[in-house]
Amino acid sequence: MAEQLWKGRFTKAVDSRVNDFNSSIRFDARLYREDIAGSMAHAAMLGAQGILSYEDTDAILEGLEAILADLDSGALAIDPAAEDIHTFVEQALTARIGEAGKRLHTGRSRNDQVATDLRLHLRRRTAGLKAQLEELAGVLCRLARQHAGTVMPGYTHLQRAQPVTFGHHMMAYVRMLLRDLGRFDDAVARMDAECPLGSAALAGTTYPIDRTAAARTLGFAAACANSLDGVSDRDFCIEIAAAAAVCMMHLSRLCEELVLWASWEFRFIELDDAFTTGSSIMPQKKNPDVPELVRGKSGRVFGDLIALLTVMKGLPLAYNKDMQEDKEAIFDALDTLSLCLDTLSPLLASTRVRPEAMRAAAAEGFINATDCADYLAKKGVPFRDAYRITGGLVALCIRRGETLETLPLADYRQADEAFGEDVYEAVRLDRCAEGRACTGGPCAASVHKQIDAAEAALAARARARGGR
């Protein structure tokens, strides 16, 4: 069993159950890169400030670099009996370089260490997630481009309401994903603004450390302004978990629609065989398991967010062991989101869209009734009257098995004298979709504009990433 770093004060060995209960190595082992980066920045700063000798500083830096290389290559395995990743790295270093390794912890604590490591780790994780979100947005833009003019019924209350286009519908999700990206950007920018390193246990240190230098080395804008806040703050976890939760809520809505559209009741899309599953008893079944699971996993990410908020609620300053619970929650939230995005993008890219089914549904649902009322209103009939007259016509159509496109002009004119031959053009489905040309509307030209803007935003993000 590896020795605890804090063993000095104690006369008895810790009960093995307490050791197991207390240990976080199971889940914080994944912070090893960031723990080593943080330790290297700290050691370099101690050396530059003359707190450590050049020889010790060099030995520590070389030792840490070698440990990183060996962990990466698998030559060194993380000891599952270590209390946590900070203990493991420090003990591995001391085992390799002796005395100098024991000087690394000068002027710091695991409290500022873990707060720093976690920020660095989340910076890396969110960068990967953002790339995945951009990929999904790109897939949706391509679908939208192919179906900019594909008329489908738009729904309210899941009742056919007014004509939209499939491209427009896809671009609504792209808008959500762009906001999700913005939420991650904001959270990460705030997280990267301040580095907790040097807050030490809670009250800073009497050594003449240069917190700003260490912060800059690690890519932070500055050292955090208050040492108590530095070790107590987990807002960055909560904000990132919140961004993940909102994003999962968006994915769950998209997935709910995919489930509906893939059903025989809709048949608006056909999911690729490679992304569906069968039933063990019903040979005809092709189940949308992937979108259903994404929908289900949204609950789990919301749970992670609530777990983080609940862990932090009512905690006195500064570090409390409760805070060790932050890691499993935030890791699970990001792992889950990443897993969902990883499957959803290729699923959507391989989905077959069935414009003929969308059009058939659009033709049946009186979704041009508003256009009929608008036609009358444009002829001078007050909209409220136009609405009532059109309602009567819809009821007539339903009784007679007609649609607004097939209803004879005589019936129109009997309802209101203002109707003329041009009503048929007004209620033509394509015209109803194409006529909705206001900014943000569903017509093909508007959809293309939306796609251009979204793709430009995605390209700018890719450029900014490349330039960094």
Catalytic sites, residue numbers? 157, 279
Of residues 38 and 153, the one with the C-beta less far from ligand ARG: 38
Does residue 90 belong to the site contacting ligand ARG (CB under 6 A)? no
Interface with ligand ARG (CB under 6 A), residue total 10
Strand 151-156 to 159-165 pairing: antiparallel
Of residues 84 and 134, the one with the C-beta less far from ligand ARG: 84
Of residues 93-122, which lie at the interface with ligand ARG (CB under 6 A)? 110-111, 114
Of residues 107 and 138, the one with the C-beta less far from ligand ARG: 107
Contact pattern for ligand ARG over residues 23 through 62, marking x by CB under 6 A: -x---x----------------------------------
The sign of the torsion formed by the CA atoms of 60, 66, 70, 73 equals positive
d(CA 209, CA 90): 20
Contact 134, 461 (CB under 8 A): yes
Contact pattern for ligand ARG over residues 215 through 254, marking x by CB under 6 A: ----------------------------------------
Of residues 29 and 140, the one with the C-beta less far from ligand ARG: 29
Query: What separation in angstroms does the CA of 439 have from each of 14, 155, 442, 447?
Result: 68, 20, 9, 10
Of residues 110 and 119, the one with the C-beta less far from ligand ARG: 110
Alpha helices (H) in 353-443, listed in sequence order: 355-364, 369-378, 383-400, 409-415, 423-426, 429-434
Report whether the peptide linkage leading into residue 318 is cis, meaning its omega lies within 30 degrees of zero: yes
d(CA 449, CA 467): 27
From the list 271, 323, 433, 454, which residue makes contact with ligand ARG (rule: CB under 6 A)? Answer: 323
Contact pattern for ligand ARG over residues 291 through 320, marking x by CB under 6 A: ----------------------------x-
Q: Which two structure tokens, joined as six digits, stand for 215?
A: 């912060």
From the list 49, 276, 324, 343, which residue makes contact with ligand ARG (rule: CB under 6 A)? Answer: 324
For 279, half-sphere exposure in the C-beta direction (CA atoms, 13 angstrom radius) is: 8
How near is the Cβ of 23 to ligand ARG at its closest, in Å? 8
Of residues 59-88, which lie at the interface with ligand ARG (CB under 6 A)? 84
Contact 92, 76 (CB under 8 A): yes
Contact 157, 273 (CB under 8 A): no
Q: Which residues bind ligand ARG (CB under 6 A)?
A: 24, 28, 84, 110-111, 114, 319, 321, 323-324
